[in-house]
Amino acid sequence: MNYRHGFHAGNFADVFKHAILARILVYLTRKDAPLRYIDTHAGAGRYDLTSEAAKRSPEWRDGVGRIVKARPPAEVAALLRPYLDAIGPCDDDGRPDSYPGSPALAQTLLRPQDRLALSEAHPEERAALIAALGRDRRLSIVATDGYVALNAYVPPKERRGLVLIDPPFEEPDESARVEAALAAALAKWPRGTYALWRPIKAPIEDARFLNAIAALGAPNILRLELDVGVVAPGAHSPNPLRAAGLLIVNPPFELIAEARVLMPWLAQALKRAAGGGFVRQWLTPPA
Ligand SMILES: C[S@@+](CC[C@H](N)C(=O)[O-])C[C@H]1O[C@@H](n2cnc3c(N)ncnc32)[C@H](O)[C@@H]1O
């Protein structure tokens, strides 16, 4: 386990993932009924963008750094507001005091009646996560493998909620593990909302992954992808990522229309070079 999210915190892929995550949580929290947020690969919770990792790999500058300085149209600004509020104040460079990872974002957006179940296998990242989120009776943070924990947590007793599956994709069998974990979770909790993040590196391999997820037979899977175009190699990123995707199983109805507004704006705001763009379509249509 070499992956450290601190090298990538606040980059374009984080902005895309976290802005959509915030929209899903905004909708799920509109009903009073409690919900469960399950984060299978939680990371360190919050990231100091003045840290050595962020200095060696300042990916945030072309991610959150651009977004907080942008002047989006009112419709986009309203959709980004919960995400930007969770980020909080930024300096003149567009650097936040700290960048909230998925657990901190969820902690901010969830209510007293909700619960967060977070898995983080790396001891140092888990210690940072515990410190970052502080004392909060809604939280459960475990060292258990995220896929094993997912199987134990679903269906949650609330019968409502969101699962984020956001592994590092360092191991060659990671996609196969995601497929198997989603299949098992859907068999136990078909009505849950699931967000699967993935880097898009090789089109053929990515098409194989999409086919495998579609073949699970679950309806109602929204496919969102963001490609920022060619990214020049950096000192810490010899093969920098240029595209990432989210598959959202059972998305809140409103997200479908919101993605029509957000995706083109994010693609424009985060673009690095020609050749980028976005995808917004059904992987499998609603039943
Ligand atoms: C991409 S990062 C998570 C980022 C986080 N979800 C966010 O959006 O802020 C992936 C994390 O998964 C952790 N990890 C790796 N293998 C794991 C496993 N089998 N179970 C749980 N966590 C794991 C890594 O240590 C790393 O912190």
* Ligand 1 geometric centre to CA of 83 (Å): 20
> Tens digits of per-residue pLDDT, 2-21?
788 888 999 999 999 999 99
Q: Give the chain's domain count.
A: 1
Ligand 1 atom with least separation from CA of 14: 8
Catalytic positions, please? 166
What DSSP character marks residue 280? E
Residue 13: count of CB within 10 angstroms of its CB: 24
> 112 CA to middle of ligand 1, Å?
25
Specify the pLDDT at position 54: 83
Residues 181-187, mean pLDDT to the nearest whole number: 98
Q: Structural domain of residue 184, as residue ranges?
A: 5-284
Q: Which residues pair with 46 in a beta bridge?
A: 100
Pocket test residue of 40, 47, 107, 120 for ligand 1, highest count of atoms within 8 A of CB: 120
Q: Is 237 exposed, middle or buried (0-12, 13-18, 19+ CB in 10 A)?
A: middle
Mean residue pLDDT of the chain comes to: 96
Q: How far is the CA of 5 from the centre of ligand 1 (A)?
A: 8
Using one digit for the tens of pLDDT, what is the confidence trace for 19-50?
A: 999 999 999 999 999 999 999 999 999 999 99
Tell whether the model's pLDDT for residue 232 goes beyond 90.
no
Tokens found for residue 237: 């990123």
For 278, phi then psi, to 5°, come to -145, 160
Which residue has the least CA distance to atom 18 on ligand 1? 145
- Residue nearest to ligand 1 atom 4, measured at CA: 43
Q: Which atom of ligand 1 is nearest to the CA of 119?
A: 21
* Exposure string for 193-215, b = 16+ CB within 10 A, e = fewer: bbbbbbbbeeeeebeebbebbee
Ligand 1 center–CA 138 separation, angstroms: 20
User: By alpha-carbon position, which residue is closest to atom 25 of ligand 1?
Assistant: 122
Three-state SS for 68-137 is: HHCCCCHHHHHHHHHHHHHHCCECCCCCECCEECHHHHHHHHCCCCCEEEEECCCHHHHHHHHHHHCCCC
Average pLDDT score over residue span 104-110: 98
- The residue type found at 197 is W
What pLDDT was estimated at residue 273?
84
Which of 149, 58, 162 lies closest to 105 in space, CA to CA? 162
pLDDT of the residue at 95? 93
Averaged pLDDT for residues 258-275: 95
CA of 199 to the centre of ligand 1 (A): 14
Checking if the pLDDT of 235 tops 80, the result is no
Long-range contacts of 74-80 (CB under 8 A, 24+ apart): 75/261, 76/261, 76/262, 76/265, 79/19, 79/23, 79/258, 79/261, 79/262, 80/19, 80/262
Q: Which amino acid is at 64?
A: V
Q: Tell me which long-range contacts 123-126 makes (C-beta under 8 A, separation of at least 24).
A: 125/4, 125/5, 125/42, 125/43, 125/44
Q: Which atom of ligand 1 is nearest to the CA of 164?
A: 6
Per-residue pLDDT reduced to its tens digit, 65-96: 999 999 999 999 999 999 999 999 999 988 99
C-alpha 151/C-alpha 23 separation (Å) is 25
Look at the pTM and tell me if it is higher than 0.95: yes
Q: What is the pLDDT of residue 234?
A: 76
Give the tens place of pLDDT for each residue, 119-153. Answer: 999 999 999 999 999 999 999 999 999 999 999 99
Ligand 1 centre and the CA of 70: distance in Å?
Answer: 29
Name which residue sits closest to atom 26 of ligand 1, judged by CA: 43
CA distance 80 to 138: 25
Q: Which atom of ligand 1 is nearest to the CA of 100?
A: 9
Pocket of ligand 1 from Cβ distances under 6 Å? 1, 3, 5, 17, 39, 41-43, 101-102, 119-122, 125, 145-146, 166-168
- Residue 183, SS3? helix
Q: pLDDT at residue 252 above 80? A: yes
CATH number at residue 118: 3.40.50.150
Lookup result for tokens 């198997």:
180
Q: What is the DSSP string of 7-53?
A: GTTTSHHHHHHHHHHHHHHHHHTTSSS--EEEESS-TTSEE-TTSHH
Of 5, 21, 57, best ligand 1 pocket probe by most atoms within 8 Å of the beta carbon: 5
Instruction: Please say if the pLDDT value at position 230 is more than 90.
Output: no
Residue nearest to ligand 1 atom 16, measured at CA:
121
Q: What is the mean pLDDT of residues 102-114?
A: 98
Q: Atom 6, ligand 1: which residue's CA is nearest?
A: 42
Q: Which residues contact 238 (CB under 8 A, 6 or more apart)?
A: none
pLDDT-wise least confident of 29-43, 73-87, 221-235, 238-252: 221-235
Q: Which two tokens stand for residue 165?
A: 């599956």
pLDDT at 236 over 80: no
**Which of 132-141, 188-197, 224-233 is predicted with the least confidence, judged by mean pLDDT?**
224-233
pLDDT at 274: 82
